Chains A and B, each alone.
Chain A
């Protein structure tokens, strides 16, 4: 790396420029497939950056993102689902919801709110647990939420899943949301609250001696992360139009962890790069998977890559750094 580094403002402008141009090109000339691919990749970026904030900054280890995605998704869909079909698909839904049909951005925010609330309640409960206990508790959370979604089929259509969800998540919308999340997490990281979080990550005991309320910080990170996950979860079904309780499960949790581990457990730029690499890479491998008839191959490759990175560069490719940008 040479001494070349952008100022934060320049980096932001670059981000906006690149995103704007890419989206513009895709909207103008890209096929439906490419636009969908870009949309899904950007949502992965959004989720990965938020997980970097939750896990990476404070050093807590949560696998719970998919659970919050599920909450955000189902809540949002309640608002965006075509009114005509609502009574059929979600018979137990109270009358007031039956007739409304709200735009996605609003619905997604409500979903985020619901997820954030759940995050706060759950966080209050589980964040005192030590590392691997927290990890398993949050993993259990995925199963609990999936089970609830499966069984409350009056609201969610259970295992049959929901189809015909309006494709309101356009690429420009997703791009805007992703950029907002990136900027938000970036500002957080470089503000004093972010520094406090990282102090907690490095040495919680010492941080507490300095008067830092570690628990409050973790709770904040966890809640905010849950809200953003809920938001991302709300966007996804509006790209692919279908959703089921199994949509956001262990595989998603694992892929997100893979992304932030590879990218660097506290690096936002690392998360962006890794998210794009893994999303696009997985998609590139898919045809190979089909021709060889080896379903699951991509996933094995991701798992293997993860193990290799952990052995070779335990802090991920970028650790806590933001390469190329002056952060002092």
Chain B
């Protein structure tokens, strides 16, 4: 395989992992409360800025940073739910959608207010900026770390959902809220957990995004958040495996689009992604792994 192709495959894995991390959280939340959380991408932004804060302060050793970031994301996700979404639980879908949209706008503008619009950056420790050779290709270590982290996190999450008491409870709530309550399951707690886990994953995606692309700003979460939605749709809503798959499919598709078409088309990558979304929604709305929920009017 040529160097260029190897490079693109690695890029696809890397980008796909980022989308997958955000998509998994998104899917988890949708599964539990049937809410399309527009503000999810902004949790990625929050993660990036937490990272920036930790790195800038200089107190925190890098080993600990990811853990703190995930914890911060967990809290942020849970708190946003508590403050904004709990009161609309059970409201019609449109209301929920508008509220999440409002929260997203609020978060972005709060970010602008507090942090200012100019992009910032932080660097990963030197180790990750090194490059190694894979065959004759030259790969950045970070592009290998990201997929590894994503897979590990996805596995841990899957184990959690399948094996632990809370995980099973989450699946129960996903399926039938009424029956779950009759088991004594506390909806508040499970929903908080879902948002928290989603937030943690999005936050760590933010950490990696900032490290890989080198630039963060308060509005950065919007487009990746939307793309994560696309990834969720591709893979099938409500399924962690689906979100993971969708993330990678989208990542590879986007890289293929940019990598194999002439450079003058690369600016159209975002348009391509959303055109893909519309295509999927028309042709196979339940996604690759999803069950046949009624998507059509």
Direct contact of A and B (CB under 8 A): yes
Q: For window 109-129 of chain A, which residues contact chain B by CB distance below 8 Å?
A: 125-129
Binds A, one of B99-107, B166-174, B183-191, B246-254: B99-107
CB pair A314 B91 closer than 8 Å: yes
A126 CA to B98 CA in the complex, in Å? Answer: 19
Which residues on B are within 8 Å of A, measured CB to CB?
A: 36, 84, 87-88, 91-95, 97-99, 101-103, 105-106, 108-113, 116-117, 222-223, 226, 229-230, 233, 267-268, 270-271, 273-275, 277-278, 281-282, 285, 294-297
Tell me, yes or no, whether A12 is within 8 Å of chain B by CB: no
CB pair B106 A137 closer than 8 Å: no
- CB-CB under 8 A from B297, the residues of chain A are 127-130, 204, 214-215
Which DSSP category, helix, strand, loop or mixed, fits chain A's interface? helix
Given A133-B285, A151-B268, A300-B106, check contact A140 B226 (CB 8 Å).
Answer: yes
A294 CA to B117 CA in the complex, in Å? Answer: 11
Distance in Å from the Cβ of A312 to the closest Cβ of chain B? 10
A98 CA to B229 CA in the complex, in Å? Answer: 42
CB pair A131 B275 closer than 8 Å: no
Tell me, yes or no, whether A307 is within 8 Å of chain B by CB: yes
Partner of B267, one of A143, A151, A261, A314: A151
Partner of A303, one of B106, B229, B270, B271: B106
- CB-CB under 8 A from A204, the residues of chain B are 297
CB pair A307 B109 closer than 8 Å: no
Distance in Å from the Cβ of B217 to the closest Cβ of chain A? 12
Tell me, yes or no, whether A251 is within 8 Å of chain B by CB: yes
A251 CA to B112 CA in the complex, in Å? Answer: 14
CB pair A147 B91 closer than 8 Å: no
A132 CA to B99 CA in the complex, in Å? Answer: 13
- CB-CB under 8 A from A306, the residues of chain B are 98-99, 102
Tell me, yes or no, whether A135 is within 8 Å of chain B by CB: yes
Partner of B278, one of A61, A126, A131, A304: A126
Given A61-B97, A131-B97, A147-B271, check contact A136 B36 (CB 8 Å).
Answer: yes
Q: List 25 A-B contacts (CB under 8 A).
A: A61-B94, A126-B281, A127-B297, A128-B282, A132-B36, A132-B93, A132-B97, A133-B281, A136-B36, A136-B229, A140-B278, A147-B271, A151-B268, A214-B297, A261-B98, A295-B113, A295-B116, A296-B108, A299-B109, A300-B106, A303-B103, A303-B106, A303-B109, A306-B98, A311-B87
Distance in Å from the Cβ of A263 to the closest Cβ of chain B? 13
Distance in Å from the Cβ of B211 to the closest Cβ of chain A? 25
Residue of B whose beta carbon sits closest to that of A251: B105
Distance in Å from the Cβ of B275 to the closest Cβ of chain A? 6
Distance in Å from the Cβ of A228 to the closest Cβ of chain B? 22
Given A147-B270, A151-B268, A295-B117, check contact A135 B105 (CB 8 Å).
Answer: no
Interface size class of A (residues with CB under 8 A): 35 or more
Given A132-B93, A150-B267, check contact A254 B87 (CB 8 Å).
Answer: no
A114 CA to B91 CA in the complex, in Å? Answer: 37
Tell me, yes or no, whether A139 is within 8 Å of chain B by CB: yes
CB pair B226 A136 closer than 8 Å: yes
Distance in Å from the Cβ of A122 to the closest Cβ of chain B? 9
Tell me, yes or no, whether A297 is within 8 Å of chain B by CB: yes
- CB-CB under 8 A from A147, the residues of chain B are 267-268, 270-271
Tell me, yes or no, whether A310 is within 8 Å of chain B by CB: yes
- CB-CB under 8 A from B103, the residues of chain A are 303, 307
Top 9 closest pairs, chain A to chain B, by CB? A140-B274, A296-B109, A296-B112, A303-B106, A147-B271, A299-B109, A303-B102, A151-B267, A132-B36
Tell me, yes or no, whether A148 is within 8 Å of chain B by CB: yes
Residue of B whose beta carbon sits closest to that of A250: B222
Tell me, yes or no, whether A188 is within 8 Å of chain B by CB: no
Distance in Å from the Cβ of A90 to the closest Cβ of chain B? 18
Distance in Å from the Cβ of A92 to the closest Cβ of chain B? 13
Tell me, yes or no, whether A171 is within 8 Å of chain B by CB: no
A139 CA to B102 CA in the complex, in Å? Answer: 14
- CB-CB under 8 A from A251, the residues of chain B are 105
Distance in Å from the Cβ of A48 to the closest Cβ of chain B? 15
- CB-CB under 8 A from A61, the residues of chain B are 94, 97
